[in-house]
């Protein structure tokens, strides 16, 4: 009696080109073409881009079911909070509010952080929110439908309500609406449109039980890869958080230069001097206050010829921070001493509740003696 050989199982090959891979390739190509010149000048931003890409690749290589760490409800809710904070920071970016000229590095860094948070959210929710019907069971399908109903109710209220209120409230709110539509507001709109169901699912879905965690993490080939992905994710999220906090604790760095005394001109001035200063706060996420002024004196009083006016207090530059001038004052005392104070409040875009006051001050008497600088 002959025993038939068992049938050979044919391995199902995955297609090389899929809509997700094609879309991702197009997106990465456009990203590189747009920001390569900027990345070539910003080493910190380039390094952060490499870290984000490594993190996204490792998260995509892990199994679609979440591991023990991302399976916790508290972690998933923290991801939702970070995504919301990043969207708000993008929408409030000075590049789109008219506070200063657009800074692509600010928006790119926030956009990169938003990408890695979205990939992490997809891993944490098993991508059920966008999964086709053929790949989900009845429980997941019910959970997905509920998340979509809640998400688009929130979307209609938040987006529609904001647009209506801003359009009818005042001219200032209409101007704000117009400035945000083409920038951070558009990114936030697309984020809510496509990612809000996954955010709702991550927020409402219960955490995994201990037995589920053992089943998910018990496969050795995936254990090291998952731990690496989680470590990269923690590092990617921690870097902007730590650098935002560093704005409040790192010591200020200051550079000053005094030009050689030259002959003055006008009002009987006998001599003049130019003053240069720069005060920096933070690292990577930072702000710089520049100062350049010319002061003359004649033995009776000191006076400025340029560099100490209100417009000169609007020259600060920042990266992922918001700067607000709180004091710009020039005074001349009765004895002829000239004093100028330039004070700015610096807040990280991701953590607007963190503040740091930075001050530049010049005091020079009527004889040209510098009493304080900067």
Q: Where do the domains of the chain lie, and which CATH numbers do they carry?
A: 19-218 (no CATH), 253-372 (2.60.40)
Going by pLDDT thresholds of 50, 70 and 90, the confidence category of residue 316 is confident
In the prediction, which pLDDT does 179 show?
66
Between the CA of residue 311 and those of 126, 255, 289, 305, 324, what are the distances in Å?
A: 53, 22, 13, 14, 13
Which range in 141-155, 216-230, 313-327 is most confidently predicted, on average pLDDT?
141-155
pLDDT score, position 98: 44
Least Cα distance to 339 among 374, 299, 288, 298 occurs for 374
**Averaged over 339-360, what is the pLDDT?**
88
Bridge partners for 285 per DSSP:
283
In this structure, which long-range contacts are made by residues 157-164, counting pairs with CB atoms below 8 Å and at least 24 apart in sequence?
Answer: 158/192, 159/189, 159/192
- Look up the pTM and report it: 0.68
Region of poorest pLDDT, from 10-19, 31-40, 161-170: 10-19
Whether the pLDDT of residue 42 is over 90: the answer is: no
Q: Does the pLDDT of residue 103 top 80, yes or no?
A: no
Return the DSSP state at 4: P
Q: How confident is the model at residue 339 (pLDDT cuts 50, 70, 90)?
A: very high
- List residues bridging with 220 in a β-sheet: none
Q: Is the pLDDT of residue 291 over 80?
A: yes
Instruction: Return the pLDDT at 102.
Output: 44
For 284-291, what is the mean pLDDT? Answer: 86
323 backbone dihedrals φ, ψ, rounded to 5°:
-110, 135
190 band by pLDDT with thresholds 50, 70 and 90: confident
């Amino acid at each position: 009696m002959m025993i038939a050989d068992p049938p050979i199982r044919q391995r199902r090959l995955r297609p090389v080109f899929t809509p997700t891979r094609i879309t991702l390739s197009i997106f990465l190509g456009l990203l590189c073409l747009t920001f390569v010149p900027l990345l070539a000048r910003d080493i910190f931003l380039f390094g952060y881009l490499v870290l984000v890409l490594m993190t996204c690749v490792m998260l995509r290589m892990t199994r679609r079911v979440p591991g023990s760490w991302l399976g916790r409800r508290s972690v998933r809710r923290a991801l939702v909070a970070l995504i919301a904070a990043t969207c708000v920071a993008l929408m409030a970016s000075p590049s789109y509010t008219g506070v200063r000229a657009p800074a692509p590095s600010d928006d790119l860094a926030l956009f990169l952080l938003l990408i890695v948070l979205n990939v992490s959210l997809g891993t944490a929710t098993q991508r059920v929110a966008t999964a086709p019907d053929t790949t989900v069971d009845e429980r997941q399908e019910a959970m997905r439908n509920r998340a979509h109903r809640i998400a688009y109710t929130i979307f209609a209220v938040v987006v529609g309500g904001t647009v209506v209120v801003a359009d009818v409230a005042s001219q200032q709110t209409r101007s704000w609406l117009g400035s945000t539509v083409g920038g951070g507001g558009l990114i936030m709109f697309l984020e809510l449109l496509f990612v809000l169901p996954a955010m709702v699912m991550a927020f409402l879905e219960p955490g995994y039980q201990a037995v589920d965690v053992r089943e998910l993490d018990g496969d050795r080939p995936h254990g090291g890869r998952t731990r690496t992905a989680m470590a990269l994710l923690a590092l990617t999220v921690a870097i902007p958080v730590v650098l935002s906090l560093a704005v409040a604790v790192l010591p200020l760095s200051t550079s000053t230069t005094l030009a050689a005394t030259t002959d003055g001109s006008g009002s009987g001035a006998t001599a003049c001097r130019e003053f240069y200063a720069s005060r920096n706060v933070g690292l990577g996420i930072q702000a710089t206050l520049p100062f350049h002024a010319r002061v003359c004196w004649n033995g009776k009083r000191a006076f400025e010829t340029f560099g100490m006016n209100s417009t000169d207090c609007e020259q600060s530059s920042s990266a992922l921070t918001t700067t607000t001038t709180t004091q710009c004052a020039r005074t001349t005392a009765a004895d002829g001493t000239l004093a100028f104070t330039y004070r700015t409040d610096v807040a990280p875009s991701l953590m607007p509740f963190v503040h740091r006051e930075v001050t530049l001050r010049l005091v020079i008497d009527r004889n040209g003696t510098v009493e304080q600088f900067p």
